[in-house]
Structure 1
Amino acid sequence: IILFILGGAQGLIGWIMVDSGLNDTTLYVNHIKLSVHFISALVLLCYTLWFALKLLVPAKDVVADKSLHRFLIVSIALLTVQLVYGAFMAGLKAAMVAATWPTINGDWIPAGMGAHSWVNHPINVHFVHRGMAYILLIVVIVCFVRLRKLSREHVSASLRKSLKYPLILVCLQVLLGIFTVISAPKIVPGHFGLFEMLAESHQLVAMFLLMALTVQLYLVRAQKAGS
């Protein structure tokens, strides 16, 4: 029932998003509605994954570590914010306003950001999205170290198998983000080229990263079931 409700809600949100770009004055969908549509799709994806894990993962592979469980929740929350800003980047075409790396048009901190909106101004959105990427990289590395230690203390084949994926994916994600940004000048309207390929890959890897962290959250609980 929940899957049906989430699926229906996703369809409704999708129409609202598309409708925001189907008028005489707007050529593109609203970036905030785009982000809501994207995140609702990911909620549906993660709920489906969680349901599948209940069927596939043996109870003995689920371990208890309250501190690490909370850390994983924080990691997923940070990633969710990053995904929202990724949707903002796409909706505002923010990659094109600063197609440079490691600086943003020559500045580490662009001037005048405080005078503009943090959700509507392309440079501010770009700055947040880029900065969050570095924070997430550090968070996932810390998570990997802690999970590796935990896997040595508990016999959990599923946990050991899941260890490396978030770390690999977040490193790949950062690299894809960098190459996507610096390829923005190669955009050709109406043509699917290098930028579009990198941007789509960037989005896909972000989804895989969220799924990988969701798997680890399932495997590491605040307490064992029944305790």
Structure 2
Amino acid sequence: MASFLRRKEALSRIYNSILHSKPSSLHRHQPFRSTFPSQSSNNYLFRVSAHPSFSKVHQASLFRNMSTVASIGSNKEGLKLLVTAGPRAQKMVGIWLFGSAAWVFSMVVLGGVTRLTRSGLSMTDWKFTGNLPPLTDEEWLQEFEKYKQSPEYRRVNKGMSIEDFKFIYWMEYAHRMWGRALGIMFALPFSYFLRKGYITLRLGLRLSTLFALGAGQGLIGWWMVKSGLEEPASEYVQPRVSPYRLAAHLTSAFIIYCGLFWTGLSVVMPEPPVESVAWARGAAKVRRIALPVSLLVGITAISGAFVAGNDAGHAYNTFPKMGDTWVPDDIFDMKPLIRNFFENTSTVQLDHRILATATLVSIGTLWWSTRKLEIHPAVRSLIGSTFGMAALQVTLGVSTLLSYVPVSLGTAHQAGALTLLTLVILLNHTVRRPSMSLLKSLPQVVKTA
């Protein structure tokens, strides 16, 4: 509000100086009569900015902020803000939501480290509220004895020392407690903002749903771990969690993250950055391509969960061929046929390779097809960044495969998937359709002279 008033005063001074120096040029325009500009006052701003006496610096500043000003000023004409207590409240809620999203991001990365270090099955029981870790040697021995009864110890870690057990236990314990801490960090500010009246009913319902999903995520996590504590069907099979349950756990985390990040963007940026009708049309063309590309990115990320759940990254550690062939002979060995796409190591890895390649090609096509479009510079920059991240993610995936899935590269690859998903969410939010009131207030093109 304060920054807008300063811009209003500066524009008024410029207008008055122009009016006094050339009374015939702008004598029909009226000065500001309201705090927020209406559609006619937006046209007034555009006409003043196009005047030769209006400096390029002031002009660039004006158009850079027009969409934000219009989004606030058009609230009475149909734009429904998620936070209505003013800019300060918007900033506070936005910081909280972005902080929560970053916390979920760290949870996904920590979960990847836990899985890659085979720490996820070290805790053989679970309590919703959590419990204290072992504090004495006797308590550590008791926990170790529980772990010795698990299939993973008998078939994989037999003879493990107590010190090695402590490492994997602490990894899993940190992952679980980090999730519980997120619940507290989310719930306390949520209660505060509700009490202050910052949050609208629509936002409150959305955040309540995300909070419920977060609480359910703990249950899904234990449901997943429990599958790894069961005796495998064959003595030649290593115990591991169900790939279906792992995919459900990861998908749930992705949904919570996307919901928090999108909502945070909607709070701090209620209108997309459009400054002309031409840019709005360009954004619409980008949107038609970006949405299916985003779905492909999400499907590729989820297919990675099945790669992890089947330990498929430890098979066929060659690229671009899988061993000596392009397509392994056993990709359809399981019956019924559908099982191969979720449980067959060869098929799961082949699917992930195809999906990753298709994702890179589709994002590259998006970048190529939008090179000559009239779009906001921020949109163009986002498309380039997304293409670069997709190329980096494919490079990380190939490097992880060729290196037999070391913890460092495997973790970076999982973080890269969520980073790429973040960029496509940001792109879709940036090119979303503006409100009708904002569209009506826009000039046909952005004039720079």
User: TM-score by structure 2 length?
Assistant: 0.45
Partner of 1:137: 360
Q: How does 1:49-198 map to 2 (within 5 A)?
A: 49-57=261-269, 59-61=271-273, 63=280, 65-116=283-334, 117-150=340-373, 153-154=374-375, 156-184=376-404, 195-198=406-409
Opposite residue 92 of structure 1, the aligned amino acid is N
Unaligned runs of 5+ in 1: 188-194
Matches within 5 A, 1:10-21: 10-21=217-228
Contact 1:73 1:217 in 2 (8 A): yes
Give SS of 1:106's match. Answer: coil
1:201 aligns with one of 412, 421, 426: 412
Determine the structure 1 residue equivalent to 2:210. 3
Aligned with 1:218 (options 423, 429, 434)? 429
2:271·2:434 contact (CA, 8 Å) conserved in 1?
Answer: no
Larger radius of gyration: 2
Q: Deviations over 1:141-184 (max 9, x none)?
A: 1122344444xx13x35324423221111111111111111111
Q: CA deviation at 1:97?
A: 1.5
**CA shift in 2, pair 1:60/1:36, >3 Å:** closer
Contact map agreement 2:331 2:347 (CA 8 A) in 1 = yes
Q: Which has the higher contact order (CA 8 A, sep 6+)?
A: 1
Q: Is the 8 A contact 1:148 1:163 kept in 2?
A: no
| CA–CA separation in structure 1 for the residues paired with 2:222 and 2:370 | 41
Give the Cα separation in 1 of the matches to 2:252 and 2:361: 26
TM-score by length of 1: 0.86
* Structure 1 consecutive aligned stretches of length 4 or more whose deviation exceeds 6 Å: none
For 1:59-116, what per-residue CA distance to the aligned partner results, in whole angstroms no more than 9, with x for missing partners? 2515454443232221121122211210111111101121111100111122232333
Task: Kindly report the root-mean-square deviation, in angstroms, between the aligned alpha carbons of the 2 structures.
Answer: 2.0
1:216 maps to a residue whose letter is L
Equivalent residue, structure 2, for 1:40: 252
Alignment CA distance shift 1:90-1:60 (3 Å)? closer
Q: How many residues align structurally? A: 214
Instruction: Write out per-residue CA displacement over residues 4-40 of structure 1, whole angstroms, 9 at most, x where no aligned residue.
Output: 1221222221121111112344721111110111011
